[in-house]
A = this chain, B = another copy of it.
Amino acid sequence: MTTKNTYHHGDLRNALLVGATEMLAQEGVHGLSLRQVAKHIGVSHNAPYQHFPDKEALIAAIAEQGFIRLGEAMDEAVATLSAQDALSRLGAIGRVYVSFMLTYRHYFEVMFGQHPHKNYPTLSGASIKTFNQLVQVIIDGQATGQIRTGDPQEMAGVIWVAIHGLSAVMISQKMPPQIIGQESPLELVTTFVQLICDGIRV
């Protein structure tokens, strides 16, 4: 049933994804090895190449899953909050985003990692779809008059980019330590979102 025969695994592509994600969680993207994943699953070191042309392609597939899961988490966080309360929704999204990245920081590495040039259409499709969820929250907020008029994509962009930057900085642990570690990460997100909403100028 689950394992039909030694030959012809039957669900190798998925097993590879799961195994690679698991290994990624432990070793990070740097320590992710196709051969190890294959060995862990119990197939030969070349079996993965039937389902992914590259190591990079496997990584892209993991990244795609990451965007999908992030989108689901954002959906959950927003669903419980009224569309009337756009600012709370933004805060909730921010907290979900950061905590997602901090929890599964291997996803972060892979979702925004170093493979910009090549084209993975389904990956970029997933990322766009997730981003559009945030845009929708902005649009709703404008409809209820809580968010000023203006291009919602641009505004969503600012928020996304700021939250993303915050995650990046927290994960890399290389940037302003004055900021990191001062408050709890999630409180920090709330502070940031408020600052973005209110602006900095007097």
Q: Kindly state the separation between the CA atoms of A112 and B109 in the bound complex, as whole angstroms.
A: 10
Contact between A127 and B165 (Cβ–Cβ < 8 Å)? no
Q: Kindly state the separation between the CA atoms of A174 and B113 in the bound complex, as whole angstroms.
A: 9
Contact between A116 and B173 (Cβ–Cβ < 8 Å)? yes
Contact between B164 and A113 (Cβ–Cβ < 8 Å)? no
Say yes or no: is A53 at the interface (Cβ < 8 Å to chain B).
no
Chain B residues positioned under 8 Å from A124 (CB to CB): 174, 177
Say yes or no: is A186 at the interface (Cβ < 8 Å to chain B).
no
Q: Kindly state the separation between the CA atoms of A143 and B148 in the bound complex, as whole angstroms.
A: 29
Contact between B165 and A161 (Cβ–Cβ < 8 Å)? yes
Min CB–CB distance A49 → chain B (angstroms): 19
Chain B residues positioned under 8 Å from A81 (CB to CB): none
Q: How large is the interface on A (under 10, 10 to 19, 20 to 34, 35 or more residues)?
A: 35 or more
Contact between A127 and B158 (Cβ–Cβ < 8 Å)? no
Say yes or no: is A28 at the interface (Cβ < 8 Å to chain B).
yes
| Of A6-14, A39-47, A71-79, A191-199, the one with at least 4 CB within 8 A of chain B | A191-199
Chain B residues positioned under 8 Å from A179 (CB to CB): 153-154, 157, 161
Min CB–CB distance A175 → chain B (angstroms): 6
Q: Binary interface profile of A, 136-178, with partner B (CB < 8 Å = 1, else 0)?
A: 0000000001111000011111111111111011011111111
Say yes or no: is A30 at the interface (Cβ < 8 Å to chain B).
yes
Min CB–CB distance A110 → chain B (angstroms): 10
Say yes or no: is A1 at the interface (Cβ < 8 Å to chain B).
no
Given contacts A124-B177, A174-B124, contact A198 B195 (CB under 8 A): no
- Selected contact of A200 from candidates B29, B153, B158, B165, CB within 8 Å: B158
Chain B residues positioned under 8 Å from A111 (CB to CB): 174
Q: Kindly state the separation between the CA atoms of A111 and B117 in the bound complex, as whole angstroms.
A: 20
Given contacts A155-B200, A158-B196, contact A177 B128 (CB under 8 A): yes
Say yes or no: is A87 at the interface (Cβ < 8 Å to chain B).
yes
Contact between B114 and A192 (Cβ–Cβ < 8 Å)? no
